[in-house]
């Protein structure tokens, strides 16, 4: 979980035996004050399946 002043973002990271990141995925963020209406289309598309971010 990455925690920011304006909310948090679930992160799932998998590491190789040598400590390097193998893969990383992000869940739906929680926000205290985010409006995606002015966000770039790519961000709006990525958040479209997240509740409260349409």
Q: What is the DSSP string of 1-54?
A: -EEETTEEE-EEEEE-TTS-EEEEEE---EESS---TTS-HHHHHHHTTSTT--
The residue that leads in pLDDT, 13 or 51, is 13
Q: What is the pLDDT of residues 3-38, one digit of tens each?
A: 888 788 899 999 999 999 999 988 888 876 666 677
Q: What is the pLDDT of residue 24?
A: 92
């Amino acid at each position: 979980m990455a925690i920011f002043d304006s909310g948090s973002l679930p992160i799932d990271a998998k590491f190789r035996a040598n400590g390097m990141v193998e893969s990383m995925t992000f869940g739906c963020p929680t926000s205290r004050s985010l409006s995606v209406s002015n966000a770039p289309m790519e961000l709006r598309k990525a958040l479209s399946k997240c509740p409260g971010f349409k």
